[in-house]
Amino acid sequence: MGSAADVRIASPGDLSLERELPRNAAVAAQLPRCPELFNLGVREALRSQGIGWLLVAALEDLVRARGHAQIGLGVAFENVRARELYARLGYRESGAPEYVDRWRTVDPSGAEHRFEDHCSFLMKSWARAD
């Protein structure tokens, strides 16, 4: 497999492990070398079947194999369902500053849609297998 940036599912709204540090500068300054799981989502019709858990577990395994002792992700305050999943998986508030994540999509007609989410950064740590 290539770099962390190569790990993605092509459909919009799925997932990627963008870089081996958080995308937000303030979060990255506080949490250097914490890979960020970004853009994780499961289509509504497929939710509550364990898919999100499997996606997160696969990326955690990849990050562990690369020698990292932690992984993080930003999640919108209003995304209660995702926050509950991440809590069950062992993710906790990192103490990093809250931030606004701005993103856009382009629909099939070519129209661009812009969004903003007010987020906090969650982390999960494990013992290094050095």
Average pLDDT taken over every residue of the chain:
81
Per-residue model confidence as pLDDT tens digits over 55-110: 889 889 888 888 889 999 999 999 998 999 999 999 999 999 999 998 888 999 99
d(CA 64, CA 29): 21
d(CA 15, CA 11): 8
Per-residue model confidence as pLDDT tens digits over 28-64: 888 888 888 887 777 888 888 888 888 889 889 888 8
The verdict on residue 78 lying in a domain is yes
**Number of domain units in the chain:** 1
The verdict on residue 29 lying in a domain is yes
Q: What is the pTM of this model?
A: 0.77
- The two structure tokens encoding residue 7: 């790990």
Burial of 63 (0-12, 13-18, 19+ CB in 10 A): buried
The CATH number of the domain where 92 resides is what? Answer: 3.40.630.30
The verdict on residue 59 lying in a domain is yes
The verdict on residue 130 lying in a domain is no
The verdict on residue 64 lying in a domain is yes
**Helix and strand numbers, DSSP H then E, in the chain:** 3, 6
Per-residue model confidence as pLDDT tens digits over 51-60: 888 888 988 9
- Structural domain including 84 reads 4-125
The verdict on residue 43 lying in a domain is yes
